[in-house]
Amino acid sequence: MQSHELLREVFQKCSPKHVSAKLGLSLSMIYKWAEPGDPAAGSGSTNPLDRIDALIQCTNDPRLVQWLCQRSGGFFIRNPKISSSHPHYLIPATNEIVQEFADLLAVVADAAHDNQVTQKESEQIRARWEELKSVTETFVVCCEEGDFRTLKEKHGGAGAKAEPRSPTADGGSAKGLPHEGAPPARPRV
């Protein structure tokens, strides 16, 4: 779908007049956003969606998309790049998701043990949650494509076992795993 087509649909639910008033722009400018751009014919205008896309493309910085998603109450997960392969890595990949979920639960349990969650603990929970979402999204896309090469290559083959995560200086891990008082993370299978 082109950006102007999406805006046209959005303007079916939210009136261009309302958008014009809220943004302090002319009504004609808002209507031009919903037209295909054709500078020769004088129709269309570079709309905000096209400008955001151009900004993302030229900076190649995913924080822009992450910020937009967060402001909209959601999150951004990049789609994995995959290629055709036989699903020999299905069981270990499934185990990785289960382990990521267990790691998240361990961080949550550690944070909640004293009936309060500090800012640092909140950040650790967020980090584990983001990792779980990423691993799960990769797995789901691989399932949809019937291709598990991405997962297999990530861990060096179907027989390879991941190393246990090492803690950082503050007692947690770089991925936000539990710190000192929490049980150690189990090695992934």
* Same domain flag for 62 and 88: no
- On whether both 185 and 144 belong to a single domain, the answer is yes
Report yes or no: 139 and 93 within 8 Å, Cβ to Cβ. Answer: yes
For residues 28-38, average pLDDT = 88
Tell me how far apart the alpha carbons of residues 78 and 116 are, in angstroms, rounded to a whole number.
32
Cα–Cα distances (Å) from 131 to 123, 167, 168, 187, 188, in that order, read 12, 16, 17, 16, 14
Residue 109 has pLDDT above 80, yes or no: yes
Residues 42, 102: one domain? Answer: no
- Can you tell me the mean pLDDT for 111-137? 89
Rounded CA separation 36/75 (Å):
29
φ, ψ dihedrals at 24, nearest 5° = 70, 35
Torsions phi, psi for 38 (to 5 deg): -150, 90
> Which of 42, 71, 100 is at the close of a domain?
71
52, 71, 90 — which closes off a domain? 71
Both structure tokens of 86: 């036989």
Which stretch of DSSP H or E encloses residue 69? Answer: helix 63-71
Cα–Cα dist 17/14, whole Å = 8
pLDDT for residue 85: 52
Residue 70 structure tokens: 């967060």
pTM score, whole prediction? 0.48
150-173: pLDDT as tens digits: 666 665 544 444 433 433 333 343
Domain that holds residue 114: 78-189
Tell me if 176 sits within 8 A of 125, measured CB to CB: yes
pLDDT tens digit string along 52-66?
999 999 999 988 998
CA 177 – CA 170 distance, rounded (Å):
11
Lowest model confidence (mean pLDDT) among 65-69, 115-119, 141-145, 167-171: 167-171
- Tell me the residue type at 173: S
Residue ending a domain, among 49, 71, 93, is 71
Regarding whether 126 and 45 lie in a shared domain, the answer is no
Same domain, 88 and 67: no
Domain count along the chain: 2
Q: Residue 179: its pLDDT value, please?
A: 37
Do both 86 and 48 map to the same domain?
Answer: no
